[in-house]
Structure formats: C-alpha cells, structure tokens
C-alpha cells in the first residue's frame, strides 16, 4: 500500500510540474528546457527553511513559490527578445548553470551529497508524518493546480496565450498586449514549479542535484509530449503514465544496475516515438 501511495504522491507532484511545463511550453510556446531548475530552487528553499527552522512549512512554501515566480519570469525574459530556437539554447544554458550551482554551492544545497533530513511538512503546528497525510496534501495541491490551469485555459486570458504561441505580431495587431501576458504565464508556471519543489523536498526528506538536472527537465517535456499539449487531461495523464513505466519495468526483473539506463532508454524512445507518430500526445494537441 505504501508503495502505491508513494507512486501517487510523486505522480501528483509531477502533475504540478507538468502543468507548469505545459503552460509555458505547450500553451504560450516559450520552449523552456530548464523547468527542473526552477523545481530545484523551490525544493532547496523549502528544505533550507525547514532544516534551519527559520520558517514553518506553509510560509516556506509561499517563499519558494514567490522566489520561483521571480526566477521563472527572469529566465523567461529572453524569450521576449529571442525567439524559438535561440531561446532553447538560452534555456539550456540556464539549466546547466542551475545544475552547477546545485552541485557546487555546498553551503546552500549540500552540493553533490545532497540535502538529507528535510523535516516532513507541517500544517498549523502539526507535523504530517504519515504517507497518507502527505498524499492528502499533494492531492489538494494538485487539485488546486489543475483548477487554476483549467480556469486560465478557458478564460479569454488563455485564448490570448494560445494566440501568442501562434503569432505574437497578430496579437499586437489585434490591439492586445503580449508582454504582460507572457510574464503572467511565466509567473504562474514558476509558482507551480516552486510549490512542487517544496512538496518534493518534504516528502522525500532527501534531495540532491540529480532530481533537478537536464534529464529531469527533459522528462517534464516528455510528459507534456506524451500526455498532450494544452489540455488539462494531458497534463495529468503524462506524469501518471511516465512515472508508472519504471515501476512496470521492475516487473521485468531487469538487474538493478541496468534499471536507471533502461528508464532513460524508455523515456528517450517514447519521446521520439510520440514526436514522430503521435505529436498531439494521448489527450492533447501538437506541441
């Protein structure tokens, strides 16, 4: 049972990340390959705050969200100037920079050894120790995230974001502002990633740079591609499916030494297969 709970908790956290990536990459078309870096900043901020005891869980989560909003707006800003392909390169650089920082800034992140012993989340003074309690917490966070994503997509604001992805110039010609909408979307995506990071750190109680590296960013993109861009159901299905696959692999009795490699192979193969044969994903639209 704990095994199932653990899967659900992680999948729900990744749904928040999937929403974040889908909003930025799928809806607005800011092709970021550094969403895992923002996720990491959220995780480390909450981890640091709880370990040092400076803040309790909710204020720490709020701090992480605000920091990730600012960070994501900042790293999305180049997309207002450089378009498409060039932004991917910029974003790639940001991800490398983040990984280097997570790995080498020993004082703040524990460096490559990671940050052990992050306390479990607490609400209003009561610590949530049980897996079931944490599942309730992540379910609530995921539900709120999904609701926000759904409300945004169905509103005129969501229509504007979709239009921006297709043709910024035509949006301007229709008398609509582009800059503010892009910044707002980046901010929202940042908040999602920050909250996901905080939940991740407190659930696992140990975080290290490998969860927030380029592979992780690409996993998030794979979730969007497999689930499908620009739909809520696609953003939910992608993470649940992709996190279930490694579990399915364990049933195949692959030696543990090959488990990590086979997972990367599987993800890479899926990404290629979907891009070629089903670009709209399972429940969405073409990226």
Partner 1 sequence: MSAYLEIAGVNHSFGGLQALNDCGFAIAEGGIACLVGPNGAGKTTIFNVITGFLRPDTGHVAFRGRPLDGLTPQAIVRAGIARSFQNLRLFADLTACDNVMLALPERAGETPFGALFRPFATARADRRRRGDALQLLDHVGLAARAADRVRNLSYGEQKLLTIARLLATGAELLLLDEPASGLASGALDQVMALLRRLRGEGKTLLVVEHNTRVVQQIADEVLFLHQGHLLAQGSPAQIIADPALAEIYFGGAL
Q: Which residues bind partner 1 (CB under 8 A)?
A: 148, 151-152, 154-160, 162-163, 166-167, 169-177, 184-185, 188, 285
Nearer CB in complex with partner 1: 116/177: 177
Nearer CB in complex with partner 1: 129/167: 167
217: left (phi over 0), alpha (psi -120 to 50) or beta: alpha
Write down the least CB distance from residue 39 to partner 1, Å: 21
Nearer CB in complex with partner 1: 86/157: 157
Provide the 3-class DSSP secondary structure of residue 88. helix
- Give the DSSP letter of residue 228: -
Write down the least CB distance from residue 147 to partner 1, Å: 9
Write down the least CB distance from residue 251 to partner 1, Å: 39
Distances (CA, A) of 271 to 46, 49, 258: 32, 36, 20
Write down the least CB distance from residue 269 to partner 1, Å: 28
Nearer CB in complex with partner 1: 158/197: 158
Pinpoint the alpha helices (H) of the chain: 2-21, 35-52, 57-76, 78-81, 84-104, 106-109, 131-154, 156-166, 168-173, 179-204, 214-227, 232-251, 256-277
DSSP string of 122-134, one letter each residue: EETTEE--SHHHH
Write down the least CB distance from residue 168 to partner 1, Å: 10
Nearer CB in complex with partner 1: 230/263: 230
- Give the DSSP letter of residue 77: T
């Amino acid at each position: 049972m704990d095994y199932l709970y653990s899967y659900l908790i992680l999948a729900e956290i990744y749904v928040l990340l999937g929403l974040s990536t889908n909003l930025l990459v799928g809806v607005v078309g800011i092709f970021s390959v550094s969403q895992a870096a923002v996720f990491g900043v959220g995780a480390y901020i909450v981890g640091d705050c709880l370990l040092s005891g400076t803040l309790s869980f909710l204020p720490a989560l709020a701090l992480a969200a605000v920091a990730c909003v600012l960070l994501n707006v900042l790293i999305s800003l180049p997309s207002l100037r450089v378009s498409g392909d060039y932004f991917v390169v910029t974003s790639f650089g940001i991800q490398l920079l983040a990984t280097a920082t997570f790995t080498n800034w020993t004082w703040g992140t524990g460096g490559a050894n990671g940050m052990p012993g992050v306390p479990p989340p607490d609400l209003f003074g009561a610590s949530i120790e049980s897996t079931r309690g944490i599942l309730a917490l992540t379910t609530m966070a995921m539900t709120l995230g999904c609701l926000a994503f759904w409300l945004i997509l169905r509103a005129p604001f969501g229509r504007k974001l979709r239009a921006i992805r297709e043709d910024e110039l035509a949006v301007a010609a229709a008398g609509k502002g582009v800059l503010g909408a892009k910044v707002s979307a980046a901010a929202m995506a940042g908040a999602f990633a920050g909250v996901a990071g905080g939940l991740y750190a407190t659930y696992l109680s140990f975080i290290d740079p490998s969860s927030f590296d380029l592979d992780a960013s690409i996993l998030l993109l794979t979730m969007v591609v497999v689930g499908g861009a620009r739909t809520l159901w696609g953003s939910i299905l992608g993470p649940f499916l992709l996190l279930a696959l490694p579990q399915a692999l364990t049933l195949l009795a692959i030696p543990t030494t090959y488990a990590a490699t086979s997972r990367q192979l599987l993800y890479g193969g899926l990404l290629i297969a979907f891009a070629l044969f089903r670009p709209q994903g399972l429940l969405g639209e073409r990226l």
